[in-house]
Structure 1
Amino acid sequence: MAVTFNHTIIAAKDRVESARFYCEPFELDEAPSWGLFTNGQLDGGVLLQFAEPPVDSQMRHYAFLVDDELFDRAYRRLCERGIEHWADPQLTRPGRINTEHGGRGVCFRDPAGHALEMITRPYL
């Protein structure tokens, strides 16, 4: 069996709010939730599992590769909701997107403070 990525747990102040925050702009499929987890599902069955502490709540960085059409829709939603965003992970270029690596990218924070990056082309 080849190795594939299956799931990650994302610490959240409010797991339902965080799941909604990710699922809405990225148009993620709903996934059954259980126990401590509220879930969102990426293509290929990969789960994002949101849980409230005592799960480690240290800030993390999550990058999502999306196509150009989804980038446009998701970016529009971020702007409509007034979500602060930057063109770079260092957060030095506010209110902009980047056009590096032959595509477009934007960084923003989720409700728990995790850094999210949305890109249209992989870096490598």
Structure 2
Amino acid sequence: MTVELNHTIVPARDPQASAQFLADILGLSVDPPLAHFTPVTLANQVSLDYDQLDDFEPHHYAFMVSEEEFDAALARIQDGGIAHYADPACQENGQIYRSERTEGRRGTYFRDPDGHLMEILTPGGAGS
């Protein structure tokens, strides 16, 4: 058997709201509760299990999406008035990045309701 990531815990002050925020951006659904977790399952079957905590440090989560999914997610970010940035320091407001090193990979960063730094990025490569 190969080693695979199965799930990760995402601390949140309001797990349902934070899970719904991410699901809405990515065009996914929030799964039914699992014990005290609010999961969002990705296409590769890895789940983000939102758990209620009041005190935590923000984390970074990056999501590989297709070109079409990127365009749709970016439109939802923009339509929702959510600040997004071309850099992880959140200095280049309202922009996306393009990486020549990865043959046209596009990406952007945004914060969720709990301050976690979320990133969407495309694979890049030929035809990007």
| Common topology (TM > 0.5) | yes
Q: TM-score, normalised by structure 1?
A: 0.91
In the aligned structure 2, how far is the partner of 1:38 from the partner of 1:25?
Answer: 16
Q: Offset at 1:112?
A: 0.3
Q: Which residue of 1 aligns with 2:11?
A: 11
Give 1:109's aligned residue: 111
Q: Provide the residue aligned with 1:46 in structure 2.
A: 46
Displacement of 1:28 in angstroms is 2.3
Distance across 1 between alignment mates of 2:80 and 2:28: 18
Counterpart of 2:89 in structure 1 is 90
Tell whether the 8 Å contact from 2:19 to 2:30 is kept in structure 1 after alignment: no
Decide whether the 8 Å contact of 1:13 with 1:52 is kept in 2.
Answer: yes
Superposed, 1:17-96 pairs within 5 Å as 17-53=17-53, 57-96=56-95
- Structure 2 distance, partners of 1:89, 1:97, is 11
- Count of residue pairs the alignment pairs up: 121
CA displacement at 1:29 relative to structure 2: 4.0
CA-CA distance at 1:35 after TM superposition: 2.4
Higher-helix-fraction structure: 1
Aligned residues of 2:15 and 2:52 also touching (Cα < 8 A): yes
User: TM-score scaled by structure 2?
Assistant: 0.88
Runs of 4+ in structure 1 over 3 Å off: none
| Equivalent pair of 2:30/2:38 in contact (CA under 8 Å) | no
Q: What amino acid does structure 2 have at the position aligned with 1:37?
A: F
RMSD, aligned α-carbons: 1.5
CA offsets, 1:68-100, max 9 Å, x none? 000001000000110011001121211111111
Shift of 1:34: 2.2
SS at match of 1:75: helix
Moved more, 40-49 or 26-35: 26-35
Aligned residue type for 1:86 = Y
Contact preservation (8 Å) 1:5, 1:46:
yes
Gaps of 5+ in 1: none
